[in-house]
Amino acid sequence: SRDRDPEAQGIARRGVIGSIFDALRRNEDAERPERHAPR
């Protein structure tokens, strides 16, 4: 079961803004995996 998902807890702790930026960054990484450089 995934009810104690650490990522979900991290989103709850960081708030909606952080989760949105996380999702955007993850989408960019999924579309361009060869350009996986930290900002």
Going by C-alpha positions, the residue among 16, 38, 20, 17 that lies closest to residue 29 is: 38
Per-residue pLDDT tens digits for 1-39: 456 777 777 666 768 888 888 889 888 877 776 665 666
* pTM metric for this prediction: 0.39
The Cα 32–Cα 15 span in angstroms is 26
Alpha helices by DSSP H, listed for the chain, are: 6-14, 16-31
Query: Could you count the other beta carbons within 10 Å of the beta carbon of residue 1?
Result: 4
The Cα 31–Cα 24 span in angstroms is 11
Q: What is the pLDDT of residue 6?
A: 73
Q: Hey, where are the domains in the chain?
A: 6-35
The Cα 12–Cα 33 span in angstroms is 27
